Homo-oligomer: A and B are copies of this chain.
């Protein structure tokens, strides 16, 4: 998978060399809302492309993380883009339910300004219900 850009630079894709993790932004394909930022290794990236289901690399768990595997809040991937330097990925997704493990649609539910921090969104679901074992 490569192309020739107008400047003649070869663009193979994101740079996963030496086991690097690449930041991946998930954006709601309809509303444009930025939902979350997570990380991908090459395996997660390839699986995302192959399945059209957002798959990340969980740094805390040290393994692939198929978004929604526990919560059911999956992301169907409509389009994958990557940036000029190959060190960031943008996914345009259809998000089922809240993207955030705290039950908000977007993980970016806190605004900061000179007054301090304000919660600017409503919770969609109670986190204790999202992760309750059956």
Contacts and interface: CB of A to CB of B under 8 A. Distances in A.
A32 interface: yes
A3 B117 contact: yes
A25 B35 CA distance: 11
A34 interface: yes
B37 A83 contact: yes
Contacts of A100: 83-84
A71 interface: no
B6 A49 contact: no
Interface in A1-24: 1-3, 5-7, 11-13, 23
A95 interface: no
Interface string A80-98: 1111110110100000000
A95 B22 CA distance: 24
8 contacts: A23-B37, A25-B34, A80-B111, A81-B108, A83-B100, A83-B110, A84-B101, A84-B104
A36 interface: yes
